[in-house]
Amino acid sequence: MFVRRIAVVGTGYVGLTTGACLASLGHRVVCADVDALKVARLEAGQVDILEPGLAGLVREGATAGRLSFTVGARDAVRDAEVVFLCLPTPMGAGGAADLSAVEDVAAVIRDVLPYGCVVVCKSTVPVGTSTRVAALLDREDVAVVSNPEFLREGSAVRDFLHPDRIVVGSDSPQAAERVAALFAKLGAPTVLMDAASAEMVKYAANCFLAMKLSYVNAVAELCELVGADVTAVTDGMGYDKRIGGSFLKPGPGWGGSCLPKDTHAMVRIAEGVGVDFTLVQATIDTNVRQRQRVVDKLRAAVGPLAGTRIGVLGLAFKAGTNDLRDSPALAVAELLAFEGAELVAYDPEIDRPLVGMTVVDDPYVAVSGAAAVVLLTEWPQFRTLDWTRVASVMSGTTVLDTRNHLDPDALRRAGLTLRGVGRPVEVPFS
């Protein structure tokens, strides 16, 4: 394998994972960030991102002399054969991706990039961005490649080192081959294509995943109304290889840093070329409704929510992360607060104050005096709460489990009434 000198610009969870993993494959990697404090912390081996295995890889890479950190992109790229841009592309005006970070860095590095180097766009960017970056760089000797990431928060390192596939797109086949070769050791199926197609793969994949979830959430709603159990239904569907059993769990709606942003961006991309992508729009609308349904269910169970105390279990957008970006739990909490509910919340990884609720550091305090408890994030430790103790401190008996995560028997034994999603109501043993 060729060992390459690589620069990674941006040390968010994608950039840092990419840098640390490429270093673990043997490459020499410099990671750059504009935040000098963050760089100093990384140099000292301190990783602030909650990502299993990442801190270990960062320290290992630094000790082996393969991974280093620097402030600013210019310094990092000076000696690089391949430059990865791992920059934020947040939702901008009207739902389109905001590319200013990518454009700024392109302007900063254009005259320091070594002759013949390859610039790789790893951030999720609208179709045509690689071409735009190439135009901004305006360097005939520098090829631009799209290499979308498919990293899930909470398993980013594992996803990087054991990918289902690697997608590399460029209008220069040689540049695409050079980037693909960086990952050769992983032995993953590698799909080479043109740049626009690679950019589209990311949106098409993430929108499909979001659509799968909205579909399952809508099926769950029907299950409740016709007396079916969505867990059995998705089991029965998932064995069909054309459907697949993963990404079929209903919940309070999907969130996080990617799916909401990418679905909105896809609708804007379609609009930009005169297409009304109703399927993706319906996926988004169904997700908005799914959050409202949580509130409606609570209201149906305990009556008007104004002045009613609700215990909230979980705030992160999914278990295993402390990320609150586009968290469905926060969206539900906001709707509940809007109706005047009094919210006391607990999340094992969140201890900072949040608007509209009291955040406590003990689950039993969160549920104390609550007319109802709503579970919004599937933290494993919620399954093993002492439900008899929960029942003894609550003022009511309703537990709404929006992830079908809890053990119905444990709650029934504790005298609690469990409402799940897409399932019949579980009433206490009498």
Applying CB under 6 A, among 152, 289, 299, 413 the residue interacting with ligand UDX is 152
Nearest CA to 267 out of 94, 122, 88 is that of 94
| Binding flag, residue 347, ligand UDX (CB under 6 A) | no
For residue 248, the SS3 value is coil
Q: What is the DSSP string of 272-319?
A: HTT---HHHHHHHHHHHHHHHHHHHHHHHHHS--TT-EEEEE--SSST
Q: Long-range contact list for 56-63, CB < 8 A, 24+ apart?
A: 57/20, 57/21, 57/23, 57/24, 57/157, 58/16, 58/20, 60/23, 60/24, 61/19, 61/20, 61/23, 61/24, 61/29
Nearer to ligand UDX, 15 or 255 (CB): 255
Nearest CA to 252 out of 224, 294, 297 is that of 294
124 among annotated binding-site residues:
yes
| Binding flag, residue 211, ligand UDX (CB under 6 A) | no
Site string for ligand UDX, 156-195 (x = CB under 6 A): ----------------------------------------
38 among annotated binding-site residues:
yes
Nearer to ligand UDX, 140 or 164 (CB): 164
d(C-alpha 336, C-alpha 304), whole Å: 11
Residues 374-403 that bind ligand UDX (CB under 6 A): none
Nearest CA to 267 out of 207, 209, 309 is that of 207
Applying CB under 6 A, among 208, 215, 247, 277 the residue interacting with ligand UDX is 247
> Tokens in use for 54?
């990442």
The dihedrals phi and psi of 358, each to the nearest 5 degrees, come to -100, 125
| Binding flag, residue 218, ligand UDX (CB under 6 A) | no
Q: What angle do CA 367, 354, 253 make, to 5 degrees?
A: 75
Nearest CA to 22 out of 70, 81, 79 is that of 81
Applying CB under 6 A, among 15, 256, 348, 422 the residue interacting with ligand UDX is 256
| Binding flag, residue 363, ligand UDX (CB under 6 A) | no
Q: Looking at this protein, which amino acid is placed at residue 259? A: L
Nearer to ligand UDX, 178 or 403 (CB): 403
Q: What angle do CA 23, 190, 165 make, to 5 degrees?
A: 80
Nearer to ligand UDX, 91 or 108 (CB): 91
- Which of 58-66, 107-115, 143-151, 291-299 is the region at the interface with ligand UDX (rule: CB under 6 A)? 143-151
33 among annotated binding-site residues:
yes
Number of residues that bind ligand UDX (CB under 6 A): 21
d(C-alpha 383, C-alpha 98), whole Å: 40
Site string for ligand UDX, 325-344 (x = CB under 6 A): ---x----------------
261 among annotated binding-site residues:
yes
Shortest distance, position 39 Cβ to ligand UDX, whole Å: 25
| Binding flag, residue 122, ligand UDX (CB under 6 A) | no
The answer to whether 365 touches 346, Cβ cutoff 8 Å, is yes
Q: What angle do CA 371, 214, 223 make, to 5 degrees?
A: 65
338 among annotated binding-site residues:
no
Applying CB under 6 A, among 84, 160, 183, 254 the residue interacting with ligand UDX is 254
Residues 289-318 that bind ligand UDX (CB under 6 A): 317-318
Give the DSSP letter of residue 105. Answer: H
Nearer to ligand UDX, 68 or 217 (CB): 217
> Which residues are catalytic, by number?
258
Shortest distance, position 79 Cβ to ligand UDX, whole Å: 29
129 among annotated binding-site residues:
no
Q: Looking at this protein, which amino acid is placed at residue 25? A: L
325 among annotated binding-site residues:
yes
Applying CB under 6 A, among 81, 153, 224, 401 the residue interacting with ligand UDX is 153
d(C-alpha 217, C-alpha 220), whole Å: 5
Q: For residue 426, what are the β-bridge partners? A: 418
| Binding flag, residue 201, ligand UDX (CB under 6 A) | no
d(C-alpha 357, C-alpha 334), whole Å: 9
Site string for ligand UDX, 257-286 (x = CB under 6 A): xxx---------------------------
- CB count within 10 Å of CB 386 equals 12
Summarize as ranges the residues that interact with ligand UDX (CB under 6 A).
149-153, 206, 209, 213, 247-249, 251, 254-259, 317-318, 328
Residues in binding site for NAD(+): 33, 38, 89, 124, 153, 261, 325
Residues in binding site: 33, 38, 89, 124, 150-153, 202, 247-251, 255, 261, 318, 325
